[in-house]
Amino acid sequence: MTDRDQGTYPPTEKMLAQPVPDDVAKGQEERLRKVWAQPPGWRYWSAVNNTEVGVWYCLTATFFMLLAGILALLMRVQLAVPENDFLDADRYNQFFTMHGSAMMFLFAVPIFEAISILILPSLLGARDMPFPRLSAYGFWCFVIGGIFVMGSILFDAAPNAGWFMYPPLSTEHGGIGTDIWLLGLSFIEVASIAAAVELIVGVLKCRPPGMRVNIMPLYAWYVLVVGGMIVFAFPPLIAGDFLLEMQRSFDWPFFDPERGGDPMLWQHLFWIFGHPEVYIIFLPSIAVTAMIIPTAARRPIVGYSWIVLSAVGTGFLSFGLWVHHMFATGLPSISLGFFSAASEAVVLPTGIQIFAFVATLMVGRVRMIHPMLWIAGALAIFVAGGLTGVMVAIVPFDWQVHDTYFIVAHLHYTVFGGMLFPVIGGIYYFYPVIAKKQLSERLGRWAFWLAFTGFNVTFLPMHLTGMRGMPRRVFTYPGDLGWNWLNMISTIGAFVMATGLLIFVYDLLRPKGKQPDPPRNPWDAGTLEWTHNVPAESWGIRSIPYVNTRYPLWQQPKMQQRIDAGRYYLPDAQEGKRETLVTSVIDAHPLHVQRVTGPAWITIWAAVFTGGAFIFPTFHWYPPAIVSAVLAVACVIYWNWTSTAEIPEAETKDAGLGLRLPLYVSGPDAVGWWAVWITMLADATAFSSLVFSVFFYWTASTQFPPQGAGFANPVLMAIGTGLVVASWALTAWARRDAGRGAMAALAVAMLAACAGGGVLILALWLPDMDPTAHVYPAMMWALVVWVIVHLIAGVVLQGYCLAGLAFGKITRRYDAPLWNSLLFWHFLCLTVLVTGAMVAIAPRLMT
Amino acid sequence: MSHDKQTSDARQFAEESASLTRITAAPLAWAAHFALCYGAAAVWCVKWPGPIGQMLPLRVGLGVATVVALAIIGWLGWRSWQQWDLLDDYDYEHEMGVGEDRHEFLGHAAFLLSIVSFVGVFFTSLPLIFAATCR
């Protein structure tokens, strides 16, 4: 027990065996139903429940997948015969660019987040995610960004430089396609990071009491690893986007060799994101597999620890692979050797989990439930893709097939086997939880066999097409190279596969009103999501159970009945507030009751204005972009002020089973603090990418900084840095004091931060460092601009805390916003110190 | 609230922080070694290669780093093997929701990760043996 919560924990069997009187249970159910009810009518769209937002998210991602699939079919039509003129070269370029970009950014990553938002709370026996409005905000950002990026194709203005956007093609190319890609997808990446933060905090802090790390569902382990990977993999791309967009908009020559820039930097930043990305989409699907296999085998998974090892090991190793996309760029052969070695090493953890699955199936009593068909197909396809992966990880072989259809075949074998098929299997599996209906097994079999056959007919011949030398991304080819029949077969296969996938989508969307309710646990699974209510209830789970086994429905036989009776935690909503339980990170000890936010329009407005801030600059309309950004910040402030860290009506509340828990916590106990911590890790990673860029330019060229170049004014840099550090110190003091003195300290801190920012700008301005002249001043400015943007955010946070103290939203007892703001400032302080060193000191040493 | 008191999370972290660190320590050692190899080779081959791209000092230096990394991972593996304590009860499932299972599970997972990291570092060091120049 901690010193704040009071009562008995863990609950005794005697307490759990005590029945709940019927009338009490009925009253509780009514109150819960009312609190968690969906807004009616058109207000439905203001819902923020994970069950609503998750479904919208999944359907939107599926919609983008279908669009990207249509692009692929059109490309296959173009390639069916040689010298075809069905599509012209430019349109073909737009199509393959958008096919890749949409499949990756608008389908593969979002569908992981969508499915996780949808099912993770029920896997963990939680009422909802910890920050429902954040999920809703992320979803609306995704919709707006997705439509913007995808819609460009209708105006013949889509990006056409490939999904990797390599300069100089992307910098020299006219038109706004590249800007749409950079700004639209950066916007979506921000939403992805928001979802990742939410999912990580959900896994760490919202598990049911008793669910220690060694018994949490494997899905949760994978979500944790993948969330962590997103936090470290997406920021380098955001940093790269920032640099590339600065070049396109303001002619800062980051990738222009004539002024000291280097296109290779983009390739590094892109693939530091791009390779982990492959595992970011692969691991969640393996996670789904890890949930289905024990159910099909009717026994617990074999080698739980081995699978955790696989997930964590793959997560780490995947960051050492990025250069294997750059084997043909002329890097020193020893560098290639390192990455080749790591690419072979990652096979170990990847293979181990597959052996664990096979072992589970071997020792279990397998029942071929329909989702298993997709999983079996997935394993077959993925193993083939993995084996060609082992081949292309070897440098000399890669040189032979680089940029040929062999690679197209390889990557599609990995993404279909490692992502699409398991996801579809997972949708069949979880559909009863999600929709309280079942998908048709007959249609499912048709869909599977058509998709599986079509897939192999399409992509198996491509290995040969590639070996025969057909390059990727060509819109047509001459008829005398021996590629004709291979391409024709691939095109036929593509349509067969599309038919299968369409049958699946039809089955997914067709009305099922007349279908009777499915059994509650149709596959006889053992995990918590199958305690769901049929027909649906919007409360998530009736009461939050005490879990001490890996497969509670198999191993704790009375659990279902006790959940339904409201025997466990939080069976009621006396105060009429949405609540879920927050537990400790390692042992899931109950810590406090978290009030979660309800339906709101403000999240949609916040998303709309955030969209404006990203989309207007595409057209170089900067004033409306700035207005949008200000309004977006205003919306987020309003949303936080009105619905987060509210001062509760009582110190503690009865959480059920005789346990009283606090209603308000701050600092490391609070989920908000964890979210800030994780977000700032992502932010620090983006900043590190900029620092990496400085060193990259230094190693890649003897002209960084160029001879005779000026340096930032060291005195001003020192003063500016010092002012920001002082602002940080005052903020830290304000957190300790949290009273009248804190208000004065915060006011001075805001002034110091503003002054510090101004002085930092002067430090570059006065020596006349022109960012368009050479990449060295541009890089120095990029670092300072980064700091300035963060200083603005830091000052807003200080102002928020100042207002909170002034209006009684923050007090010594209720001080969560102060803790969270200070955490932001810790990172900001570090950022400005590093920037000071990089701008004022490092260049002097580099010459 | 209770800023200065130890919270429940903090106490648990104190109890398990060693094993939590250990679960990521071995992969982090791999990452550090890998980053060092990549960075050192990149700088060396641009700034100080011999006339035909020789890099003997680089190979020797990174060879020493490899031995250090392998030793650290080996030590981590030994510590997590002790935490797993297999020979005590032959438990490799750790499937119960009790403190001992959680403790041994973290040891088990860390042990397995140190094996993968060991192999990873070994693989990374192979180019140092096979490649003699930067070219």
A343-376 residue pLDDT tens:
999 999 999 999 999 999 999 999 999 999 999 9
SS (H, E, C) A11-44: CCHHHHHCCCCHHHHHHHHHHHHHHHCCCCHHHH
Comparing CB atoms, the residue among B38, B116, B117 nearest residue A335 is: B38
CA distance B62 to chain A (A): 12
Could you give the CA distance from residue A202 to residue A822 in angstroms, rounded to a whole number? 22
Measure CB to CB from residue A211 to each of B97, B123, B135 and give the nearest one.
Answer: B97
> Is B20–A586 a contact, with Cβ atoms under 8 angstroms apart?
yes
Total number of domains in chain B? 1
CB–CB contact B127 A3 (8 Å): no
Task: Report residue A302 as tokens.
Answer: 């074999």
The C-alpha atoms of residue A476 and residue A101 are separated, in whole angstroms, by 21
Residue B122 lies in a domain: yes
Structure token digits, residue A596: 């979660």
Contact A760, A838 (CB under 8 A): no
Take residue A771 and report the two structure tokens written for it: 């960012």
Label residue A88 exposed, middle or buried (CB < 10 Å: 0-12, 13-18, 19+).
exposed
Q: Check if the beta carbon of residue A222 is closer than 8 Å to that of residue A286.
A: yes
Res. B19 pLDDT band, cuts 50 70 90: low
What parts of chain A have a pLDDT lower than 70? Answer: 1-5
Residue B123 lies in a domain: yes
Give CA–CA dist A779/A226, Å, rounded.
Answer: 31
Interface with B, mutate which of A225, A232, A338 (most B CBs under 10 A): A338
Cα–Cα distance between B81 and A551 in angstroms, integer?
A: 27
Check if the beta carbon of residue A555 is closer than 8 Å to that of residue A532: no
Q: With b meaning 16 or more CB within 10 Å and e meaning fewer, what string describes A389-413?
A: beebbebebbeebbebbbbbbbbbb
Three-state SS string across B69-86, please?
HHHHHHHHHHHHHHHHCH
Out of A305, A665, A667, whose CB is closest to B108?
Answer: A305
Element (H, E) at A366: none
Q: Is residue B11 part of a domain?
A: no
Q: Does the CB of B87 have a partner CB in chain A at under 8 Å?
A: no
Question: CB of B73 within 8 Å of any CB in chain A?
Answer: no
Look at strands A659-662 and A6-7 and give their pairing. antiparallel
Which residue in B11, B31, B134 is closest to A334 by CB distance?
B134
Question: Is the CB of B41 less than 8 angstroms away from the CB of A319?
Answer: no
Candidates B56, B95, B98: best to mutate against A (most CBs of A within 10 A) is B95
**Is the confidence at residue B5, as pLDDT, over 50?**
no
Residues of chain A positioned with their CB less than 8 A from the CB of B123: 341-342, 344-345
Alpha-carbon gap: B70 to the closest alpha carbon of chain A (Å): 15
Going by DSSP bridges, is the β-strand pair A579-583/A590-595 parallel, antiparallel, or unpaired?
Answer: antiparallel
Residue B104 lies in a domain: yes
Q: Is residue B74 part of a domain?
A: yes
CB contact under 8 A, A338 and B127: yes
Cβ–Cβ under 8 Å, residues A150 and A235: no
Q: What share of chain B is helix, strand, coil (3-state, %, to 5)?
A: 80, 0, 20
Contact between A419 and A108 under an 8 Å Cβ cutoff? The reply is: yes
Identity of the residue in B43, B105, B113 whose CB atom sits nearest the CB atom of A313:
B113
Instruction: Write out residues 534-573 of A within 8 Å (CB-CB) of B.
Output: 547-550
Report the pLDDT value the prediction gives residue A439, as an integer from 0 to 100.
96
Question: Which tens digits make up the pLDDT trace of A239-272?
Answer: 999 999 999 999 999 999 999 999 999 999 999 9
- DSSP reduced 3-state for A766: coil
The 3-state DSSP class for residue A813 equals: coil
Q: Is residue B111 part of a domain?
A: yes
The whole-angstrom separation of Cα A734 and Cα A817 is: 12
**B101, A341: Cβ pair inside 8 Å?**
no
From chain A residues 811-830, the ones with a CB under 8 A of any chain B CB are 813-815
Question: Mind listing the pLDDT tens digit for each residue in A54-77?
Answer: 999 999 999 999 999 999 999 999
Q: How many CB pairs under 8 A join A and B?
A: 174
Cα dihedral A122, A215, A10, A649 sign: negative
- The answer to whether the Cβ–Cβ distance between A586 and B97 falls below 8 Å is no
Q: Closest by alpha carbon to A724, among A768, A641, A786? A: A786
| Residues 6 or more apart whose Cβ sits within 8 Å of residue A262 | A255, A696, A697, A700, A701, A775
Which of A304, A312, A589 comes nearest B113 by C-beta?
A: A312
Nearest to B116 among A333, A349, A587 (CB): A349
Any A CB within 8 A of B91 CB: no
CA distance A290 to A156: 43
Two tokens, residue A163: 């999904």
Structural domain contains residue B2: no
- Are the CB atoms for A689 and A243 separated by under 8 Å? no
Q: Identify the sign of the CA torsion B47, B53, B56, B62.
A: positive
> Is the model's pLDDT at B12 over the cut of 60?
no
User: Maximum Cα–Cα distance for chain B, whole Å?
Assistant: 65
Could you give all domains of chain A from N- to C-terminal order, each with its CATH number? 50-509 (1.20.210.10), 682-846 (1.20.120.80)
The whole-angstrom separation of Cα A286 and Cα A282 is: 6
Distance of alpha carbon B115 from the chain centroid: 9
For residue B67, the enclosing domain spans: 27-130
Please indicate, yes or no, if residue B78 is contained in any of the structural domains: yes
Q: Is B90 on the interface with A (CB under 8 A)?
A: no
CB contact under 8 A, B113 and A214: no
Q: How far apart are CA A503 and CA A450, in angstroms?
A: 9
User: Would you say how long chain A is, in residues?
Assistant: 847
Nearest CB to A2 within list B3, B7, B131: B7
pLDDT band at B4 (very low <50, low <70, confident <90, very high): very low
The verdict on a CB contact (< 8 Å) between B41 and A334 is yes
Indicate yes or no: CB of A304 within 8 angstroms of CB of B34: no
Residues 2-61 of B with CB under 8 A from A: 2-3, 5, 7-13, 16, 20, 23-24, 27-28, 30-31, 34, 37-38, 41-43, 45-47, 53, 55
Tell me the two tokens of residue A553.
Answer: 């429905």
Record: contact A305-B113, CB cut-off 8 A: no
Helix (H, G, I), strand (E, B) or coil at A751: helix
